Structure 1
Amino acid sequence: MKFGQALSVFEAALPEDIAKPYRETLTKLQEAAPPLPTRVVHSVLAKELGEDRRDNFSEFNDKPAASASIGQVHKAKWKDGRDVAVKIQYPGAAEALISDLNQIQRFSKIFQLFMPGLEMGPLLEELRARIMEEVDYRYEATAQETYSKVYEGDPDIAIPKVVLASDRVLVSEWLEGKPLAKVIADGTQAERNNAGIKLARFHFTSPDRAGLLHADPHPGNFRIMPDGRLGVLDFGACNRLPNGFPEPMKRLLKNALEDDAVALYEGFKEDGFVLADVDVDPNLVLEFLVPLVEPLRTPTFKYSREWLRDQSARVGDPRNPTAKIGFQLNLPPEYVLIHRVTLGTTGIFCQLRAEGNFRDEALSWFPEIAPSTYSGVDKAAAVSK
């Protein structure tokens, strides 16, 4: 299920003749999954919330409203009259995820042969730790409560408040809105642009405002509220960033935007993206990062499936020297979730075909990444925005 949701984002990178037949099926994975039998639903509720659980709800819809990666969501009415979302974890989901990770670990030595620049051991340990967090709904509730307090009353972002949490059940306020998958399918260009900018704003602002980065970016986790705000769901995967967005990442972004291949390469070495015994061409490293920095080079950028396919072909064609760089680079464990968010949100932007000033969105929170060579960029105005 989780693999399918990730794949549904990256179908935007596939050639149209391949992607088109599967697009509808993949998109459905963002919103739906085979439901649990009603008796199992109430068995989990009884175990997690107690036999008197029904006293908490004045209404409870036994039919799930949506899937939730490793569980399903039911709409209900809380005893005080609020509409709530009741997220129930699939029995055995945690064990299944750990089993899948163990299977991957068995093949880690084979992966290492094809990607000699990547340290698989620390990477898999980081993934294991994040999975254990994701299956603990109390842990998720803590992150969601932090977000909801920080963004309460925000004009752009809506976060549902937590009502009740146990290890395997999470009750939150219900968010009514248009699923992002629906905006992707038939939204106006204005709706698409609004969704793209609000999503960028959420990810750019949350490390400094909440000390967190929402790390499960697929369309099923976002809604466009009737008032235009971006509604955000599912906080099981969050990167803890108590000091805000990492300073090394800002420095490397600035190096890339300044086309300073030497400084970028030295930074990659220093921060563990290139291992000590690996030598690569600094200019190819810079070329490899084009998809990341291109949207930040101009006042207006339009994402598209075609652009993403071109970029994917450029870094994925083994005949291209730039593509080979990807197999020589390392991904330090502390940057795994940031990498996941970057790729996932880029995929969503391209599905949306969103157009906007993504450069100033980034500069408003990370003014230090703006190169001194930028012309026509009012850094002070961006910061005061």
Structure 2
Amino acid sequence: MIKQSKKSQENSKAEVEEPNKGLRKEENKLTPIKEELEDGKDKENKYGFSGLEEKVHRISENFVTKDEVNGLKKEVSDLSARLINSPTTKNEVEAKLNMEFYAKGEARGWNTTFDNIILPSDIKEKLRGICESKSGGYLLYGPPGTGKTSISKAIANQTKSLFAFMSVSASCLSSQRNIDQVFEKAETNSPCMIFIDEIDGVGKKRTVHEDAGPLTYLLTKLDKEFLSSKNITVVAATNHKNHLDPALIRGGRLECIEVPGLDKDDTRQKILQERLEKLKDSDMKILVQASKGFSMANLICLIDKISETTEKEGEIKYLRTFCKNFKKEHNIKDEPDKKHSNGKTKNKDIRLSSGSLSRSSSVSSSLSDVSSRGSNRQIEE
């Protein structure tokens, strides 16, 4: 009984001490705050508050009321509802529609003409045909830097008195709404020409995993019958024709016109022959080879320099040297010879030659003679 009574007293004592521990902890937390407030009683601030008042003022400014929290919750809830009901949940993000527009007869913002464009004459004839058509769809394709955008500007200038002109990037045509805006404006201002740059931005080959809605809708606007009925001409451009959906370039939609790059020898030859008619065939071959890797600007500059030199001095005697100096002057590097760009092929040739040499001394002698003759020929050149 004594033991039980003693245990009961100890339990009662613990029950009393437990709350007291909690109160002591709270006192310890409040002591620094109390001291800070007491230290600031007589301090003044810019508002005329005492130190204590300043502490209270600062603390109250940092508190958010219950009404403010509820208001913030409502704003978040309303924003969530708008996002859930918006078209973005259907994977349709409307890009801002940026386009240039020029009314019929209005001066364009550039002076580019067909005289500024260096292309073979047969390609130029096809491009001039666009200017004469009252409606239809055309695709300009070719590697970067061949002047597709410049061609569109030349067409716009050529048809200034006949057509209104609009220019828009395909990346803006990511929604039915934007497509409608473009074609409605063109119809209102018909006859009108629409230039769509980088059409592969909306016209890539369709897959089951992508939303092809915008492209499918655009195809209805590019049908020959639709364009004809609205007096609209569409000229599109791309660097990657092979990436386009076949439906874009099938008959009755976009007629393809290649804008060739200067990487092709026959393209450079056509341009050189048209601009340098009096040049001999042998000199023409030299120029075609020497102009490999040239940009359009470099080729024009070379043609102008040859024309200027022949007018002053007559025939250029050392054309290879002339071209070599021109490249050095304009910091143009020679293109690597593709035949010898593969190290494996080159080594194979060497091994074969070594094998031949080991088989016959007479072959070795013959190869030496050929090699020496080749060296002498190089020195003479």
Q: Same fold (TM over 0.5)?
A: no
**What's the TM-score once normalised by structure 2's chain length?**
0.20
Higher relative contact order (CA 8 A, sep 6+): 1
**What's the TM-score once normalised by structure 1's chain length?**
0.20
| Larger helix share, 1 or 2 | 2
